[in-house]
Amino acid sequence: MSVFTHLVVELGRFLEPVLAESATAAAIVLFTVLVRIALYPLSRAAFRGATPAAGCLPLLLQLPVFFLMYQAFTSGGELLAHRLFAAPLGARWTEALGEGGLLGAQGLVFLGLFAAIGLVAAWSAVRGRRAAAEAALAPARPVPAGVSAEQQEAIRKLGGVLPLLSFGTLITAAVVPLAAGLYLLTTTAWSVAERAWMQSRRAAAAGGAAGEAVGKVTGGRRSSL
């Protein structure tokens, strides 16, 4: 038994009194959240970084976790016996379709997963468009040292494309085991919420700095009078 499998099994046993047969599915979600919390310092640094590569680092560090989960639910073992409602965590969508069709018990579980991923992707796309519109209206920021104008343009284009990549998660979730789909849903939702939170904090900080500057100017004028 791998370390990953052991952790998921133990978390599932802890949650089983409350969630019954869906405890292992909830353990996957909880495990994903713990991974994202551990990666938060890197995500925050990447959010402040000036290169596209910096933003890709947290994603690259999650790939080993995804592959471990994929292997755990495809290579056999005790995890294959666990379920999310009516669907086995090791089942794929095509297999669910063969067990009652699109609206069968297993098919409905996958449809719920796809709907949740679609909502997260739509939220990401809306926020991305809103951020792009606000950036277009905002005054031009000085280019950081060591970053060329071409790199700045590449960063701007990448920022417009990244929110749309969440829709690609739908395709991946349709071909990987249900457990891996749960991981994708959780980490994608966390990424969108995390970025929204960091953007709101940056906007609040910028607004506070602007208010402080206005206060200093106003105070200076009053003292001169």
Please state whether 30 falls in left (phi above 0), alpha (psi between -120 and 50) or beta. alpha
pTM (two decimals): 0.80
- For residues 155 and 196, is the Cβ–Cβ distance under 8 A? no
pLDDT (tens digit per residue) in 190-222: 988 998 898 888 888 877 766 666 666 666 665
Kindly report the average pLDDT of the chain as a whole number: 81
Residue 146 clears pLDDT 60, i.e. is over it:
no
Tokens of 139: 């005054």
- For residues 12 and 31, is the Cβ–Cβ distance under 8 A? no
pLDDT (tens digit per residue) in 61-117: 888 888 888 888 887 677 887 999 999 999 999 999 999 999 999 999 999 999 999
Please spell the DSSP secondary structure of 156-223, one letter per residue: HHHHHHGGGHHHHHHHHHHHS-HHHHHHHHHHHHHHHHHHHHHHHHHHHHHHHHHHHHHHHHHHHHHH
Tell me the C-alpha distance between 102 and 96, whole Å: 8
Name which of 8, 2, 1 is nearest 180 in CA terms.
Answer: 8
* 115-to-28, 36, 86 alpha-carbon distances in Å: 19, 22, 17
- For residues 210 and 202, is the Cβ–Cβ distance under 8 A? no
Tell me the C-alpha distance between 47 and 159, whole Å: 11
